[in-house]
Amino acid sequence: MHYAPPGQYGPPGQYAPPGPFGPPPTPRKTSKRWIWITLSSVLALVLVCVGGAFALRNHNLQRSAERAAAYDEKRNPVKRESVDRLLAEHTRALKDRDLKAFLAPFDPADKKLIADQTRVFHNLTRIPFSEATFANRTMRDVTPLGAGFTFDLMVGFLHRIGEYDRAPVERRYFWKVVQDERNGPLKVTAIDRIPAGFKASDDDFYPTPWDKWATVHVEKTEHTVLIVDGSLRAEARRHAPAVEAAAVRNITTWKASGVEGEIPSGFVVSLVKGRKDLGSLWRVADEPPTEAGVSISMPTAEYDANMEQLDGPLIGGSRVVIDLKTSFFTAAAPDGPPLIFRHELAHSMVAALTAVDKDSPERSERSLWTVEGFAEYMAYSPKPWTASYNIPEGRRQLRADRGEVSLPGNGVWNSSSAGRLNYHYLLGHTAMDYIAGKYGAQKLFQFVAGNYRGKSVENLTQELFGVSYQEFERQWAAHVTGKLR
């Protein structure tokens, strides 16, 4: 039996060993040119498709841009850029004290308009602004006029007085503007013609000293700027030291309390004579004012009505207006001026803390007995509330109420008679004095600051004093009636 030795190609007996023939011929190389031709054709087709789509997209975008431009040209034929350039030059003219450039936008044929704006310019140059800018707020009611157009322009005058405003505040004006031909120069033909939908009493359209008076006089101290009608220059100089002393005293007292919160470093004050001016400076009062003075909080110019986009303070600054024709400035009240100055400056001092509780906006309303009581406390301190001018009225009202006393809610505060209103001021004063005496001055300032920041008085009595509001009011009432009877 023939036995085949193991071979390299498999187990024995299955494959024959290599014969005498040589290795098989090397296979012929197959050409791959057709692959490259195919790939090139496909790539070219893809590039053609992509290029066509890109070109179509660009064409559509160009047509959309042209349609948008045509629509904008039809709807807004007056270019915003031209308005912005005008206001930027108006801003520069005020900054550089350039009367000719400041008057350039106004119709030279309107002599009264030119005279009014000349007066405004000179008044503005007397105010110690640290910032003053004219800004384009809205353009509306663009109407064809001959070869051009006429439209209403709402102009915002954003300004800060000294370093006392923490952020710019705003006074708005309406300008009637004419453009005699498309893309031609702009000409202002009237100011303060308020269109329908706006009211003269809206906060943004308040009268300012530079608009209101023929001339303004400015009296500066370290912590105050007094802005008065030129006819009251002597009164401003006479009262400036007392206003300065009130400012220093309030600021020092606040800082000594140790309560956190940024307050103004000084105050803007105007002195007037008569209730008419009191109700028509930095505001337009709906009713003839009955107060002797007022502190007006000025919202920040960029204030967002929903309080969702405001990065800076809610209140940019305050304006104090005090009527010199009241009993505080008579021989019968030798300490009247310091009292009214400290009272109103106290309002302005803590107004800077104003905020709202976004989670509970219904609890964000400040309590008026806190607001006015704190101002009275600052006016009389360190004297106790029993030194108040309102004590006789307080005793009369307490007898009329048969000895029952409670802290007045906001709903009844402003609806009261003059006597009852004075009584409410006294009750707020007594509450502040009671808090300071029982819990300490720091707790008092924390209470006031918390209320301005949006916390309710009900939450604050529990948080700071450890008692419910009802218990706090009961203890306070016993304290007041014991001394007022």
Neighbours of 80 (CB within 10 A): 11
In sequence order, which residues have a C-beta less than 8 Å from that of residue 219 and are 6 or more positions away?
225, 226, 228, 233, 236, 237, 240
For residues 259 and 449, is the Cβ–Cβ distance under 8 A?
Answer: yes
HSE (side-chain half, CA atoms, 13 Å) at 406: 10
Closest CA to 407 of 380, 371, 363: 371
If you search the block for the tokens 């009389």, which residue do you land on?
380
What is the Cα–Cα distance from 441 to 275, expressed in whole angstroms? 35
Query: Are 189 and 173 in contact, with CB atoms under 8 Å apart?
Result: no
Please state, in angstroms and rounded to a whole number, the distance separating the CA atoms of residues 380 and 341.
11
Name residue 47's amino acid: L
∠ CA(244), CA(267), CA(211), 5° rounding?
115
The answer for residues whose C-beta is within 8 angstroms of residue 463's C-beta and 6 or more apart is 450, 455
The CATH label, of 3.30.200, 3.40.30, 3.40.50, 3.30.1490, for the domain at 206-353 is 3.40.30
What is the location of CATH 3.10.450 in the chain?
Answer: 80-203
Are 347 and 373 in contact by the 8 Å Cβ rule? The answer is no
Per-residue pLDDT of the chain in tens (485 residues, 90 and over written 9): 433 333 332 333 333 333 333 444 444 445 556 665 666 666 666 565 656 666 666 656 666 555 544 444 556 688 889 999 999 999 999 999 999 999 999 999 999 999 999 999 999 999 999 999 999 988 888 888 777 888 989 999 999 999 899 999 999 999 999 998 887 889 999 997 666 666 655 667 889 999 999 999 999 999 999 999 999 999 999 999 999 999 999 999 999 998 988 899 999 999 999 999 999 999 988 888 889 999 999 988 876 545 555 566 788 999 999 999 999 999 999 999 999 999 999 999 999 998 865 565 555 578 999 999 999 999 999 999 999 999 999 999 999 988 889 999 988 886 668 889 999 999 999 999 999 999 999 999 999 999 998 899 999 999 999 999 999 999 999 999 988 87
Q: Round to the nearest angstrom and report the end-to-end CA distance of the chain.
A: 145
Domain with CATH 3.40.30 in the chain: 206-353
What Å distances lie between residue 153 and 136, 188, 193, 194, CA to CA? 7, 9, 10, 10
Which architecture characterizes domain 80-203 according to CATH?
Roll (3.10)
407 three-state secondary structure: coil
What local confidence, expressed as pLDDT, does residue 180 receive? Answer: 82
Name the token pair of 312: 């800076």
Give the integer Cα–Cα distance in Å for 89 and 69.
27
Could you identify the residue written with the tokens 């370290």? 222
Residues 269/320, Cβ–Cβ less than 8 Å: yes
CA 398/CA 390 separation, integer angstroms: 12
- Give dist(CA 253, CA 342) in Å, integer: 11
* Neighbour count for residue 282 (Cβ, 10 Å): 23
At a CB cut-off of 8 Å and minimum separation 6, what does 277 contact?
A: 229, 321, 323
pTM over 0.85: no
